[in-house]
Structure formats: C-alpha cells, structure tokens
Amino acid sequence: MKGEQGMKGDNGSNGLDGTPGKLGPTGPQGIVGLPGTNGVKGEKGEQSIQQKSSFSVVFTSSPGRHDTSPMKYDTIITDVGNHYNKETGKFVCTIPGIYVFQVTSTASRSGQIITRIMKNGNNQMSAQMSASGYNSVSTMVVLDLVSGDQVWTQPHSSNYNYYYSDGARFCSFSGFLLYAA
C-alpha cells in the first residue's frame, strides 16, 4: 500500500555538464553603428613631379619638293624638354611613355603629297592628298615609346611631295607626352 507523501527534501548538488548542443540558426543582422572618430592627420606626402615633353614645329617658307628623308622644319614654336632636334628633323624620346604625334601638310596648286609619320625608320601613319589647288591633309597617331626611340615626318616618295607653306605656317609637326610609363 502506498503511503502519504513526505516532506520535500533539500536540493541536490549540480551534476556534470552535458555535451554541447547544435548551434541554432543565425539571427538577423543588427543595425549599423555610429561612425568612429577621425584618426590623427598624417604627415604631408611628397608631391610627384610630372615629366613633360612637347613640341610644335612649322615651315614658314615653302619647302617645295622635299627629299624622302626626315623633314627639317625651319621654325620651332614650342620644344618643352628640348627633345626635338631641328638639325635632324627628329623627335628623340628621353621619357618612356605614350605620346601623341600630329602632322599637317599643304600641297602647292599642282602638287600631291603623302606625308608619313615614322618611328625608328618604320611608317606608323600616312596622310595623302591628291587634288588641284592648295589643299591640306592631316593625321595623328598615338605611339608607345621607349628611351632612344626617334619619330619624324617624311614624304612617301619623290613623286608625292609638292609641299607649300608661307608665313601663315601651313605645314606643321607636333607631339606631346600623354603620360609617362
């Protein structure tokens, strides 16, 4: 026979910890906190020095028929860096990088012209004009140059080189460093 319920006893000692259970699902992301305070201002850095190279040259008198050799323009308008050699008619690269070159040529009334932009003896770009009367032609090229590369203009052949210019400066050659490598 079952007797009456007795008095409640004292709590027993804690048992040993069991093995950890599985991780529960990740909760939603909390709200973004406030920005922190600004750090200490750093020291002033060194300013980079931009390398410069550019030139523009022209014929101020009519060169007429020109040999198939570098065109030696008679007047320098600009030569930042002194990289254009008036004696040879060549631009000589001293700052490796990407350069832009442009040539404009004008033919005499009875002439035809094909002017080339040359790099180290190889044709890079040509401009041709074949019409009666005074006419101009122009072209431009972007070149990747290393130190020592040479760029110049010259006629394509002795048959297509009836150049005309005067004080208005109809024939020109220009170049500039777009950015150093």
CATH of the domain at 97: 2.60.120.40
The better pLDDT of the pair 122, 68 is held by: 122
Our CA angle for 47, 50, 79, nearest 5°, is: 150
Place of tokens 């991780």: 23
Q: Between the CA of residue 92 and those of 20, 84, 118, 175, what are the distances in Å?
A: 77, 6, 12, 11
Rounded to an integer, what distance in angstroms lies between the CA atom of residue 174 and that of residue 55?
5
Q: What is the pLDDT of residue 167?
A: 81
Q: What is the pLDDT of residue 23?
A: 86
Residue 33 lies in a domain: no
Q: What is the pLDDT of residue 145?
A: 98
Q: How confident is the model at residue 94 (pLDDT cuts 50, 70, 90)?
A: very high
Is the pLDDT at 84 greater than 80? The verdict is yes
Count structural domains, the chain. Answer: 1
Residue 155 lies in a domain: yes
What is the distance between the terminal CA atoms of the chain, rounded to a whole angstrom? 104
Q: What is the pLDDT of residue 68?
A: 85
Q: What is the pLDDT of residue 67?
A: 78
Mean pLDDT of 57-63: 87
**Sign, Cα dihedral of 115, 93, 100, 167:** negative
Rounded to an integer, what distance in angstroms lies between the CA atom of residue 110 and that of residue 130?
9
Mean pLDDT of 46-58: 90
Q: How much of the chain, in percent, has pLDDT values that exceed 90?
A: 50
Rounded to an integer, what distance in angstroms lies between the CA atom of residue 78 and that of residue 102?
14
Domain extent, residue 174, equals 58-180
Query: Of 124, 107, 118, whose CA–CA distance to 66 is shortest?
Result: 107
Q: What is the pLDDT of residue 95?
A: 97
Rounded to an integer, what distance in angstroms lies between the CA atom of residue 136 and that of residue 171?
8
Residue 76 lies in a domain: yes
Query: Of 139, 144, 90, whose CA–CA distance to 116 is shortest?
Result: 139
Residue 156 lies in a domain: yes
- Burial class of residue 148, CB neighbours in 10 A (0-12, 13-18, 19+): exposed
Amino acid at 74: D
- With a threshold of 0.75, does the pTM exceed it? no
Range with lowest mean pLDDT among 20-29, 98-107, 144-153: 20-29
Amino acid at 146: V
Residue 26 lies in a domain: no
